[in-house]
Chains A and B, each alone.
Chain A
Amino acid sequence: MLSNLKGIFRPRSIPEALALLEKNSGSILVMAGGTKLVKSPNDIVQELVDIKDLGLDYIKEESGGIRLGATITLQKLVESPIVNEVANGVLSKAAGMCNRSRMIRNVSTLGGELVTAGPLSVLYCALLILQAQIRIVGGEEFALPINIFLNKKGLGGGLLVETLIPAFKETTVAALVPIGTESTDALACAGARVTFQKGSCQNVKIAITGCEKIPQRLHEAEVVLEGKPLTGPNIEAAAETAHQLYRPISAPLASEEYRKEVSRSLVKKALVQCLESAEDQL
Chain B
Amino acid sequence: MDIRITVDGRALKADIPPNQTLSDFLRAHGCWSVKHGCETGECGNCTVIVDGRAVYSCLMLAVQADGKSVETFESVQKRSEFAPIQEILMDFGDMDCGYCIPGMMMAMKALIDRIPEPTEEEVLDQLAGTVCHCVRSVKPASALLEAVQKMRGNW
A binds B: yes
Q: Could you list which residues of chain A lie within 8 angstroms of chain B, going by C-beta atoms?
A: 1-3, 5-8, 34-35, 38-39, 48, 50, 52, 75, 100-104, 106-107
Are the C-beta atoms of A107 and B55 separated by less than 8 Å?
yes
Count of chain B residues with a beta carbon within 8 Å of a chain A beta carbon: 27
How many contacts A-B (CB < 8 Å)? Answer: 69
Tell which of B5-13, B69-77, B82-90, B123-131 binds the partner.
B123-131
Q: Residues of B contacting A102 with CB < 8 Å?
A: 54, 107, 125-126, 128-129
Assembly CA distance A6 to B47 (angstroms): 26
A104 to chain B, nearest CB (A): 6
Assembly CA distance A52 to B41 (angstroms): 20
**Among all A-B residue pairs, the 3 with the closest Cβ atoms:** A101-B129, A5-B19, A106-B53
Q: Can you pick out 18 interface pairs between chain A and chain B where the beta carbons lie within 8 Å of each other?
A: A3-B19, A5-B18, A5-B19, A6-B18, A8-B18, A34-B59, A34-B64, A35-B59, A38-B21, A50-B64, A101-B41, A101-B44, A101-B56, A102-B128, A103-B44, A103-B107, A103-B129, A106-B54
Q: Residues of B contacting A100 with CB < 8 Å?
A: 128-129
Assembly CA distance A107 to B54 (angstroms): 9
Assembly CA distance A35 to B53 (angstroms): 15
Are the C-beta atoms of B39 and A39 separated by less than 8 Å?
yes
Give the residue name and chain of the A residue nearest to B46 (CB). Answer: A103
B4 to chain A, nearest CB (A): 13
Give the residue name and chain of the A residue nearest to B48 (CB). Answer: A103
Residue B1 at the chain A interface, CB threshold 8 Å: yes
Are the C-beta atoms of B47 and A1 separated by less than 8 Å?
no
Q: Tell me which residues from 87 to 143 in chain B have a Cβ below 8 Å from any Cβ of chain A.
A: 107, 125-126, 128-130
Give the residue name and chain of the A residue nearest to B127 (CB). Answer: A102
Give the residue name and chain of the B residue nearest to A106 (CB). Answer: B53
Binary A-proximity of B31-67 (CB < 8 A = 1, otherwise 0): 0000000011110100100000111101111011000
Assembly CA distance A38 to B42 (angstroms): 14
Assembly CA distance A44 to B19 (angstroms): 13
Q: Residues of A contacting B17 with CB < 8 Å?
A: 5
Assembly CA distance A58 to B125 (angstroms): 24
Give the residue name and chain of the B residue nearest to A48 (CB). Answer: B18
